[in-house]
């Protein structure tokens, strides 16, 4: 018998297999052969490689359309992050499957479900993760999955997903999941061809999505479909594109014109009325709070019931050994206190939904203003800082500053700084227990990426003002996260120069307004404050002022260099216990300070390193010691801006502010804030810091 050539042999092999179709069923052919034969053949089962490629294609499509999902996000809270959250969830799936090569379909689904739970973000992300978890629970032992088996499992998973929510709402992703699964079930009774069943169910999902436009008042008022539901339909669309196109690359290329290929069913625009965004919240609570709980025999129903006491939008997804928690609450620390009693808690996340709502509102207003008056220059630069920055919470919120939390470990339990931590309880422990201690670590890459992604969703530029790199790896962690997040940019990699700035751009830096598509990375600039606490706060507040006057990220960073050189900064440490315990104060110096009742005045030098600026006698002289330094830096009656922060010493901080106000010009600006726990863990109770800038420094606005 004549031997067939490689190409002929491959054609013969394909032609003889009537159960293979498209790239979904031709996962690894080594030959240049078109697999676009969906109309000629059918597939009766999914195995590991086929399922992996399908999930990857669906995830790619969702990620590519995440910005458009953010734009129509009005339920349950119009915080403009549904696409970002769902993209984060499915990125975890694709990352886990990238090097995973089992032949068993159930193994692929189990891996996808576990990674989805770990990577889930937001309400829709948690719901999507629960759906995959429930689907995996049904199918994890199946080597091959047929049409009827898949359809039955999908119906069961959709119902379990509905039960994962404390108050399920129709007109959301739950509705589309239900309708899609039941359409699959109906079609599977008529055909064992998974391709035929899947494509027919996809059409039903599109029709279901269109109906969500009128099912909830929030969507009807805004004139949009549910963003989470649309995200799921985009996943289905990606799989259909893979089936039709023959390769992941071709599917991705086809997805760039998704609106045209999908038709009018998906063609819904973002709401134009700003008032719609402000009035569309279904939640009465401020913080989107999430975590993973690891344990044995976790009672998901009991956890869900208890969490309902703290807020709404409760989703408890997962299994008896791993649960993904999502809840909207005003007291994240209470949620985490409860979860700590249930198992090992990690992957904490707290988003300020009111802040995100404000950012979305401002971005839409800026767009409207720009269309109305081309000469007006709206703010395009988002300001991001980290836990080293001390500013009043009200200021951060009012001006839309995103603050990335560090991690605080107390009694072996780790949480992010901010609303996840009961700062009053922490101060109480510091007062009542002499041996109490806590450790800190820099923010996670995920926390930075989350903050930058939120900023990128609303601004063309991002300026990150970081804690001094000479004392912490926080600044470099921020730069690393931004580099990874925005690595799709074609611009050259940034370099950190002597001025402490790092630039990574989605376009060449411009001083004026810059247009970018939703998929174009923003212009990113990182500025090393080379300082901390009140001093980092005063630089950040000036950056906010300049951004609100329309300056670019690069312009602001250059102005901050001048401000940093002119700034005075001191920290008075009243309690030496933490400095001694940490080893930062030791030897003869420690003995002398304690014996004679002396206390250090600390500062940061031009390189951002901590150094002693002097000493003063007695804890009671803290205010007078700092006032003396201010008087040396500023002449009586001069105009200045001062920022004061403290560790549980509000009366002393106010006294210092009053004395400085009496000494300086009456119109001098003085701001008081609490010192964050990262610095408080070192400076300890009673510490006060003050930073000042003379009015003579140009504000450039």
For residue range 55-111, what is the model confidence (pLDDT) as tens digits? 999 999 999 999 899 889 888 888 788 998 999 999 999 999 998 989 999 999 999
Which secondary-structure segment (H or E) carries 415?
A: strand 413-416
DSSP assignment letter at 69: H
Q: Is the dihedral of CA 99, 105, 106, 112 positive or negative?
A: positive
Domains 369-564 and 567-694 agree in fold: no
CA distances from 324 to 116, 122, 284, 333, 336 (A): 9, 11, 22, 17, 13
The two tokens of residue 443 are 């923010």
Q: Is the dihedral of CA 557, 572, 476, 288 positive or negative?
A: negative
Q: How many residues does the chain have?
A: 701
Rounded CA separation 579/681 (Å): 9
On whether the CB atoms of residues 234 and 197 are closer than 8 A, the answer is no
**Per DSSP, what are the bridge partners of residue 328?**
288, 312
For residue range 496-505, what is the model confidence (pLDDT) as tens digits? 444 455 554 4
For residue range 155-180, what is the model confidence (pLDDT) as tens digits? 999 999 999 999 999 999 999 999 99
**Per DSSP, what are the bridge partners of residue 533?**
389
Residue 257: per-residue pLDDT: 46
Rounded CA separation 377/210 (Å): 37
Rounded CA separation 545/548 (Å): 5
On whether the CB atoms of residues 613 and 602 are closer than 8 A, the answer is yes
Q: What is the DSSP string of 521-579?
A: PPEEEEEE-SS-HHHHHHHHHHHHHHHHTT--HHHHHHHHHHHHHH-EEEEE----HHH
Note the CATH architecture for domain 369-564.
3-Layer(aba) Sandwich (3.40)
Q: Which of 237, 301, 213, 253 is nearest to 62 (CA)?
A: 237
- In the block, which residue shows the tokens 């993973």? 292
User: Where do the domains of the chain lie?
Assistant: 19-27+35-269, 369-564, 567-694
The two tokens of residue 562 are 């001048």
Confidence band of 281 (pLDDT split at 50, 70, 90)? low
Give the list of residues 6+ apart from residue 45 with CB closer than 8 angstroms, or none.
Answer: 19, 105, 144, 145, 146, 194
The two tokens of residue 386 are 């980290």
For residue range 290-322, what is the model confidence (pLDDT) as tens digits? 999 999 999 999 999 999 999 999 999 999 999
Rounded CA separation 311/625 (Å): 46
For residue range 620-663, what is the model confidence (pLDDT) as tens digits? 999 999 999 999 999 999 999 999 999 999 999 999 999 999 99
Rounded CA separation 242/251 (Å): 5
**Per DSSP, what are the bridge partners of residue 578?**
none
Residue 520: per-residue pLDDT: 74
Least confident range from 229-238, 247-256, 692-701: namely 247-256
Name the fold adopted by 567-694.
Hypothetical Protein Tm841; Chain: A;domain 3 (3.30.1180)
On whether the CB atoms of residues 29 and 7 are closer than 8 A, the answer is no
CA distances from 32 to 22, 26, 97 (A): 13, 12, 25
Q: Which of 373, 416, 332, 481 is nearest to 676 (CA)?
A: 416
Residue 253: per-residue pLDDT: 57
Residue 274 has pLDDT above 50, yes or no: no
The CATH superfamily assigned to 19-27+35-269 is DhaL domain (1.25.40.340)
Residue 669: per-residue pLDDT: 96
Residue 21 has pLDDT above 80, yes or no: no
Question: What end-to-end distance do the CA atoms of the chain give, in Å?
Answer: 85
For residue range 341-362, what is the model confidence (pLDDT) as tens digits? 999 999 999 999 999 999 888 8
SS3 467: coil
On whether the CB atoms of residues 623 and 688 are closer than 8 A, the answer is yes
Residue 570 has pLDDT above 50, yes or no: yes
- In the block, which residue shows the tokens 């630069």? 381
Residue 552 phi, psi (nearest 5): -80, 165
Which secondary-structure segment (H or E) carries 175?
A: helix 173-188
Q: Which of 195, 197, 237 is nearest to 50 (CA)?
A: 195
CA distances from 333 to 302, 348, 353, 475, 648 (A): 19, 11, 16, 26, 19
Burial class (CB in 10 A: 0-12, 13-18, 19+), 148: middle
């Amino acid at each position: 018998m004549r031997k067939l050539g490689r190409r002929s042999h491959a054609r013969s092999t394909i032609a003889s297999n009537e159960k293979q179709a498209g790239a979904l069923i031709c996962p690894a052919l080594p030959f240049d052969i078109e697999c676009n034969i969906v109309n000629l053949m059918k597939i009766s089962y999914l195995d590991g490689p086929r399922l992996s490629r399908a999930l990857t294609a669906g995830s790619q499509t969702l990620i590519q359309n995440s910005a458009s999902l953010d734009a129509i996000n009005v339920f349950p809270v119009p915080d403009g992050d549904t696409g970002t959250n769902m993209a984060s969830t499915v990125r975890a799936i694709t990352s886990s499957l990238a090097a995973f090569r089992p032949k068993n379909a159930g193994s692929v689904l189990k891996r996808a479900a576990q990674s989805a739970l770990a990577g889930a973000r937001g309400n829709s992300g948690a719901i999507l993760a629960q759906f995959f978890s429930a689907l995996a629970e049904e199918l994890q032992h199946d080597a091959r999955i047929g049409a009827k088996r898949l359809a039955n499992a999908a119906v069961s998973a959709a119902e379990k997903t509905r039960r994962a929510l404390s108050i399920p709402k129709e007109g959301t992703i739950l509705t589309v999941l239900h309708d899609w699964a039941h359409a699959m079930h109906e079609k599977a009774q008529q055909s064992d061809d998974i391709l035929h069943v899947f494509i027919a169910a996809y059409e039903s999902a599109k029709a279901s999505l269109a109906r969500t436009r009128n099912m909830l008042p929030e969507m009807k008022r805004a004139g949009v479909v549910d963003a989470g539901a649309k995200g799921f339909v985009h996943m289905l669309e990606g799989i259909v594109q893979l089936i039709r196109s023959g390769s992941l690359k071709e599917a991705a290329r086809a997805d760039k014109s998704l609106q045209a290929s999908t038709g009018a069913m998906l063609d819904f625009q973002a709401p134009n009325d700003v008032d719609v965004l402000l009035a569309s919240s279904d939640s009465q609570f401020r913080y989107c709070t999430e975590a993973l709980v690891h344990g044995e025999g976790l009672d998901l129903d009991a956890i869900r019931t208890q969490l309902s006491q703290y807020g709404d939008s409760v989703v408890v997804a997962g299994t008896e050994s791993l649960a993904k928690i999502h809840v909207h609450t005003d007291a994240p620390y209470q949620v985490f206190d409860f979860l700590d009693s249930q198992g090992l808690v990690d992957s904490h996340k707290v988003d300020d939904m009111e802040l995100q709502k404000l950012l979305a509102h401002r971005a839409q207003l800026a767009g409207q203003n720009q269309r109305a008056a081309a000469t007006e220059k709206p703010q395009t630069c988002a300001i991001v800082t980290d836990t080293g920055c001390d500013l009043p919470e009200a200021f951060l919120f009012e001006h839309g500053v995103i603050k990335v939390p560090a991690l605080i470990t107390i009694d072996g339990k780790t949480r992010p700084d901010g609303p996840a931590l009961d700062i009053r309880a922490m101060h109480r422990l510091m007062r009542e227990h002499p041996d109490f201690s806590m450790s800190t670590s820099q923010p996670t890459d995920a926390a930075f990426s989350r903050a930058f992604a939120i900023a990128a969703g609303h601004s063309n530029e991002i300026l990150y003002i970081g804690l001094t790199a000479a004392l912490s790896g926080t600044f470099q962690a921020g730069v690393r996260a931004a580099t990874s997040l925005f690595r799709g940019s074609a611009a050259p990699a940034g370099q950190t120069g002597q001025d402490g700035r790092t630039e990574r751009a989605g376009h060449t830096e411009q001083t004026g307004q810059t247009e970018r598509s939703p998929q174009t990375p923003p212009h990113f600039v990182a500025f090393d404050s080379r300082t901390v606490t009140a001093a980092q706060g005063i630089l950040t507040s000036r950056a906010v002022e300049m951004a609100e006057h329309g300056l670019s990220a690069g312009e602001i960073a250059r102005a901050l260099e001048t401000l940093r050189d002119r700034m005075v900064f001191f920290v008075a440490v009243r309690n030496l216990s933490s400095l001694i315990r940490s080893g930062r104060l030791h030897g003869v110096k420690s003995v002398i300070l304690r014996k004679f009742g002396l206390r250090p005045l600390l500062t940061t030098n031009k390189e951002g390193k901590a150094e002693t600026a002097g000493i003063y006698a007695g804890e009671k002289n803290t205010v007078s010691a700092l006032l003396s330094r201010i008087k040396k830096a500023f002449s009586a009656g001069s105009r200045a801006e001062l920022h004061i922060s403290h560790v549980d010493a509000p009366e002393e901080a106010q006294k210092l502010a009053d004395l400085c106000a009496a000494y300086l010009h009456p119109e001098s600006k003085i701001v008081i804030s609490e010192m964050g726990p990262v610095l408080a863990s070192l400076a300890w109770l009673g510490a006060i810091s003050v930073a000042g800038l003379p009015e003579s420094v140009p504000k450039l606005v």
